[in-house]
A and B are shown apart, each in its own frame.
Chain A
Amino acid sequence: MPEIDDPAFAGDVANGVHPPAFAAIRTGAVRRTRRHRAAAAGISALAVLAVIGGVWLGNGAEPDAGAPAGTPSPTPSRLPTTPSDPELPRREPMRQEPPWLASDRAFVDGFAMVPGEETVASTWFCDRRCEGAAKRVLVVSASGRRSVIAIPRGTLTAAGGGRFIVEPYRPGAPPRVFDIDGEVAMTMESGSSPLAAGEVVAAISGSGLRYIGLFGINGKTATMHELVVPPEILLQAVHADGRHLTFEGSQTFWLSDDGGASGTRNDLDTDGYLTSLVPSARPGTRVVLLGGDGATLFPLQRVARLHADGTNTVEDVHLESPFVLASLVRRDGSLVLATVGGEFGDPLRIWRQRPEGGAFEELIPTGFEAATDLFGTISTSRGPIMVATTVDRGQALISTDGEVWKSVRMR
């Protein structure tokens, strides 16, 4: 068995490290100083976000359950623009694609699509060894056209109507919406309301607080509004399968099947494990995976099913290859997991557990031969989709059930 006590380890690794030029450190320091000065200046967009944040910080506001769901205010307002950031170019398609995008230094870390819609989007990054200012881009493709747009680091979601949302990781940065022609100007509707049909959830990250804003976004109409949220919990995660929302707090969940207009609380003892909400194609079926903190991997320990009556069913899991890369709940309520073992070269394996729980059976997927890695699961307005990468960086495999896989272009 390998020995943990290896005092020469770090030194041996260090011997092979090639430091960057110190000028890059100096440049980073200058940018950091500029960002801090801009934040301290009290820019109006942040002031507006603070107002939004007030709704979240227990100021006594109750969910507006009495109002008809999705009714917009008669006086819509424009979304506040972000302060200009000297690091980031305007969100127009780039005239020339960065050279690294066509090289093996390009890595995909986001993919979004809506089944039945032609337009797909993916986000790609290059590590700091690459030349040029734009090291992270959004690629939007449709009908033989392709646009490449420099974007900040964030998560990517399909909004429908050929539009895609980028939620920046930077605290306070609002979600940005793009289509193949560039950034889309969104109209913000006043007031908060439940998530309407066809809308997707997008968030503004906080610093200290996980969220300082949650919105429902309609890609087809280019409109967005604040979401009503449960007042009792300090929000850590939100998941939406259509209008079936799951809000996660500390060892508690709030379940809503009407976009947040109403809901029920479900307390779950997570026993110190990390949690992962499973995207679900079966309305109202909610599964939570509980696992260890595996740094970049998620070793599964337990499966919990949350019921609408406030109860839950928890069972321990022992899979041969326990690190979960993707998961979804099928329309029939069965849980599908894509996992890998802890060794390099371990094969990807697909498992299914029946709706009532119990043993996992291994599935033999078809059309999966070219898969090199499980990208993850993306939630779409037509249900969750597992995504696998292939050797062809522009090609992916998708499946709605873990068994049947088909090829799609990522860019």
Chain B
Amino acid sequence: MGMEWVQQCFEASYRRLVGQLYAVCGDLTEAEEVVSEAFVRAAARPAAFARVDNPEAWLRTVAVNVARTRHRRRAIGLRLHVAHEPQHRHPDLSTERLAVVQALRGLPAAQREALALHYLADLSVQQVAETLGVPAGTVKARLSRGRAALAELLTREEETHA
């Protein structure tokens, strides 16, 4: 019964979660892998997962945490050996949307996660707060600072290529 529930959630939520995590990670393969890992963790403990009130929120939180861990390891690898980053994979998006994804990469993780989950994944401030494990006020502050920083990055890119 537990595994059937995991599979039902997988069929209902996988695509949506990948879309949301792509906004956070800026790489489609990364998004697929962290979302898959979240489902693997749910499937490893199906009885516990069955008791979760909001399965999709739980999976999204796990996926964001996995993405953070993987990013930290890559950053440390950069510091140790200046290792190469894998090539990024993107869905078929307009130039403007890709510019936003690129610019988000230039922001600190905290701001990037908040902006991506609220403005691109269409989560409420409260949902973003629950996903990130921070108070709603903190999310609002990150959104405010993040918008300003993102606008500056996008403006700078426009001026560079004008």
Residues of chain A having any CB pair with chain B under 8 Å: 1-17, 19-20, 22, 24-26, 28-29, 32-33, 36, 107-111, 125, 127-128, 155-157, 169, 203, 210, 236-239, 248, 274-277, 279, 292-299, 320, 323, 326-327, 341-344, 373-379, 387, 389
* Chain B residues positioned under 8 Å from A387 (CB to CB): 84
Question: Complex formed: what's the CA distance from A110 to B86 in Å?
Answer: 10
* Cβ-defined contact, B43 with A29, below 8 A: yes
Nearest CB of B to A321, in Å: 8
- Check if B50 is an interface residue, CB within 8 A of chain A: no
Given A1-B154, A25-B43, A292-B108, verify A10-B19 contact (CB < 8 Å).
yes
Q: What would 16 A/B residue contacts be, using CB atoms closer than 8 Å? A: A1-B151, A2-B96, A4-B115, A9-B19, A12-B91, A13-B93, A16-B91, A25-B40, A28-B37, A111-B84, A128-B32, A157-B81, A203-B80, A236-B76, A296-B27, A375-B84
Tell me if B142 is interfacial: C-beta within 8 Å of chain A: no
Interface centre among B43, B71, B107, B157 (most CB of A within 10 A): B43
Contacts of A295 in B (CB 8 A): 25-26, 71, 104-105, 109, 112
Bound state CA distance, A116 and B105, in angstroms?
38
Q: Is the CB–CB distance between A22 and B10 below 8 Å?
A: yes
User: Which of A19, A28, A389 is in CB contact (< 8 Å) with B14?
Assistant: A19
A210 and B119: CB pair below 8 A?
A: no
Do the beta carbons of A5 and B157 come within 8 Å of each other?
A: no
Give chain A residues whose Cβ lies under 8 Å from the Cβ of B98. 344
Residues of B within 8 A of A32 (CB): 40-41, 44
Q: What 5 additional pairs, Cβ within 8 angstroms, besides A2-B96, A29-B43, A373-B87?
A: A3-B100, A19-B15, A157-B81, A343-B102, A376-B84
Residues of B near any A CB (own CB < 8 A): 3, 6-7, 10-11, 14-16, 18-20, 22-23, 25-29, 32-33, 36-37, 39-44, 71, 73-88, 91-93, 96-100, 102-109, 112, 115, 119-122, 147, 150-151, 153-155, 157-158, 160-161
**Pair A6/B19 contact, Cβ less than 8 Å:** no
The reply to whether A276 and B79 contact each other, CB–CB distance below 8 Å, is yes
- Say whether A28 contacts B73, CB under 8 Å: no
Residues in A neighbouring B78, C-beta threshold 8 A? 276, 298, 376
Other-chain residue from B11, B77, B105 in contact with A155 (beta carbon distance below 8 A): B77
Nearest CB of chain A from residue B70's CB, rounded to whole Å: 9
Question: Is A292 in contact with B18, judged by CB distance below 8 angstroms?
Answer: no
Which residue on A lies nearest to B76, using beta carbons?
A: A237
Set of chain A residues within 8 Å of B37, measured between Cβ atoms: 28
- Are B82 and A276 in contact, with the CB atoms below 8 A? yes
Q: Report how far A111 CA is from B85 CA in the complex, Å.
A: 12
Q: Are B99 and A155 in contact (CB under 8 A)?
A: no
| Bound-complex Cα distance A374 to B84 (A) | 8
Chain B residues near A17: list those with CB within 8 A: 14-15, 18-19, 32, 91
